[in-house]
Amino acid sequence: MHPNARSDEPDPRSPHVRIIEVSPRDGLQNEPGIIPTDDKVAFVNALSRTGVGEIEVGSFVSPVAVPQLADTDEVFRKIERVPGVIYSALVPNERGLERARAVSAQKIAVFTAASETFTQRNIKATIRESLERFRPVVAGAKRDGMVVRGYVSTAVFCPYEGRIAPTRVTEVMKRLLDLGADEISLGDTIGKAAPADVRRLLDAALPCLSRDRLSLHFHDTYGMAVANALTAWWEYGVEAFDSSAGGLGGCPYAPGASGNVATEDLVYALKASGATVPVNEIQVVAAARRLVRHLSRGLTSRLSALTIGTECRVGDQEP
Ligand code: HMG
Ligand code: MG
């Protein structure tokens, strides 16, 4: 329980935690090389069978901005969709929405940030302009029955502006909710946040939306991501986390940012702490391994190192 919480307050924690697997998008957007489409398809298909409830398959952004994901349309067309799994993609504008619609994506994510400089570098707009750009996108997506996620990047630190005040994050978050976003993902884009920062952020953010509409998106540059997620779940009852198989990831517009928290390490930590997470972390490692020969670096997760050359049995975790 948070030290500031009153002892007569109900325990906020739900035992059930959802994982949003972002590696095919956040993981692969930062690779220097372009991974063959069929390997991406096999990767998404393998992830679909790990138990994750949602997979961010790619981005319908400008192919000049992110050539690594220019084939997202084809990946969507070729994957085998497992019933119950949500397949989503990043969409920056109406052109992106058309592409998402053409492949019957169930969910889209619009993305902006709490820092002006990052927003300008990432999507060539001010925060205000980005939100205006999203207005018809969110409305159109909802008309078509799609679920809409709104990302707020640089929610704790910006690579250009340094520390970001939580009030700047909540302002952007509220605007996204006003536009009609169903859920919000707050991103520690450069992976520098520590649990004390997470508490400050959640103290500001949670009064603005219900917990089941919030996801946290931790990168792991400083090795704090698992601690941050456990803090958010244990002390504040946050129920959803974005993570990436093998710890793949980064943002091409956030220099020095490392990968997302590895799904397998996060799932292990959550289960070991008493959460119910319907994801098989060993299958997640196996899915990430399929891609290794195409990657510029190896997998960074603790579990992937542990399971090399073994029967992949880790502790007493149930699949
Ligand atoms: P712009 O250059 O201002 O856009 O880019 P534009 O409208 O002038 O278009 C430029 C060219 O791109 C045109 O082509 C458009 O047709 C094309 P041309 O006429 O020159 O041949 N274009 C498109 N093509 C296909 N699909 C589209 C599309 N839009 C334009 N949707 C824009 C503005 C936002 C489009 C561009 O900057 C962009 O695509 N940026 C994406 C950047 C990106 O993907 N960043 C990484 C994701 S964010 C992230 O990683 C953080 C996150 O993980 C959370 C966290 O960690 O905090 C989510
Ligand atoms: Mg990210």
Residues 6+ apart with CB under 8 A from 128: none
Residues with CB under 5 A from ligand 2 (ion): 26
pLDDT at 278: 96
220 lines ligand 1 (CB under 6 A): no
Of all protein residues, the one whose alpha carbon is nearest to atom 46 of ligand 1 is 251
Distance 187 CA to ligand 2 centre (A): 6
What gap in Å lies between CA 282 and CA 286, rounded to an integer? 6
29 lines ligand 1 (CB under 6 A): yes
Decide if 297 contacts 247 (C-beta within 8 A): no
Taking CA atoms, 248 is separated from 28, 146, 289, in Å, by 7, 27, 11
187 lines ligand 1 (CB under 6 A): yes
pLDDT at 8: 57
Catalytic residue numbers, as ranges: 251
Tell me which amino acid residue 113 is: A
Query: Which domains are present in the chain?
Result: 18-316 (3.20.20.70)
User: What parts of the chain have a pLDDT lower than 70?
Assistant: 1-11, 307-319
Distance 122 CA to ligand 1 centre (A): 8
Of all protein residues, the one whose alpha carbon is nearest to atom 14 of ligand 1 is 62
Which ligand gives the minimal distance to the CA of 122? 1
Of all protein residues, the one whose alpha carbon is nearest to atom 40 of ligand 1 is 123
71 lines ligand 1 (CB under 6 A): no
67 lines ligand 1 (CB under 6 A): no
Taking CA atoms, 38 is separated from 72, 75, 123, 138, 246, in Å, by 11, 8, 28, 30, 19
User: Which has the closest alpha carbon to 304: 294, 296, 291?
Assistant: 291
What would you report as the CA-atom Rg of the chain, rounded to the nearest whole angstrom? 18
User: Which has the closest alpha carbon to 19: 206, 301, 278, 196?
Assistant: 278
Decide if 206 contacts 235 (C-beta within 8 A): no
92 lines ligand 1 (CB under 6 A): yes
Atom of ligand 1 nearest to the CA of 122: 42
Of all protein residues, the one whose alpha carbon is nearest to atom 11 of ligand 1 is 62
